[in-house]
Amino acid sequence: MKNTLQPASALAQRSTRLAFLTTVRHVDVRYTGLGYVAFASTMTIGRLLGDWLVKRVSGRVLVTGGGLLAALGMGLVTTVPVWPLTLAGYAMVGAGCSNVVPVLYSAIGRQDFMPEHLAVSAITTLGYSGILAGPAALGGLAQVTGLPFALGSVGVLLVAVAVMGLCLPRLLLNGAPSEASSPSAD
């Protein structure tokens, strides 16, 4: 489920940014691209720093903290009608989402519930399901409730990602203790 929600939130940023910023925030069309730039820039920086972060911070913190940071960012985007804070919200969503999926994909190699090749296929299918169904579901919800509420629901789903991050076994998110750090049996 996490792998379905996180890509859907990333796609929601791309597909609804223009409509939200022009119709709800009344931002000039010339500047609406800055919302995506804020999101994509922090997503890219987060991904580039991902290995460095994983070595210093546990996977559980990256998934849970990332989900909460992204949810807080969506809260800013949908509730605070101040343009610089809206941009900051988009940046927070990008930073928060940047390492959730990579951490979860690395957990595939540490699980023993199913063969890795099947697990990768299952997770990839869930991710693409989110990419395909997310915008349609978001658009349908926006038609009924309005775009701010629909985007706010993405924030609620990102909180669900954070909560599910707390439920994952430590071994899956952090890996086995390295042999270099364990005492040798001489």
The CATH number of the domain holding residue 38 is: 1.20.1250.20
Tell whether 175 is covered by a domain: no
Tell whether 87 is covered by a domain: yes
Give the per-residue pLDDT at 7: 57
What CA–CA distance (Å, rounded) separates 5 from 165? 12
R_g of the chain, CA atoms, integer Å: 18
DSSP 1: -
Q: What is the pTM of this model?
A: 0.82
What CA–CA distance (Å, rounded) separates 47 from 100? 10
**SS3 letters for 99-159?**
CHHHHHHHHHCCCCCCCHHHHHHHHHHHHHHHHHHHHHHHHHHHHHHCHHHHHHHHHHHHH
Q: Domain tally for the chain?
A: 1
Tell whether 99 is covered by a domain: yes
Domain encompassing residue 7: 2-166
Tell whether 149 is covered by a domain: yes
Which H helix or E strand runs over 29?
A: none
Using alpha carbons, list the distances in angstroms from residue 33 to 59, 78, 168.
32, 17, 36
Tell whether 184 is covered by a domain: no
Widest pairwise Cα distance in the chain:
70
Give the per-residue pLDDT at 185: 42
Q: Which two tokens stand for residue 86?
A: 């809206």
> In this predicted model, what pLDDT tens digit does every residue of 17-26 receive, in sequence order?
778 888 888 8
> In this predicted model, what pLDDT tens digit does every residue of 33-79 receive, in sequence order?
899 999 999 999 999 999 899 889 888 999 999 999 999 999 999 99
Tell whether 172 is covered by a domain: no
Tell whether 36 is covered by a domain: yes
Tell whether 178 is covered by a domain: no
C-beta separation of 90 from 13 below 8 A? yes
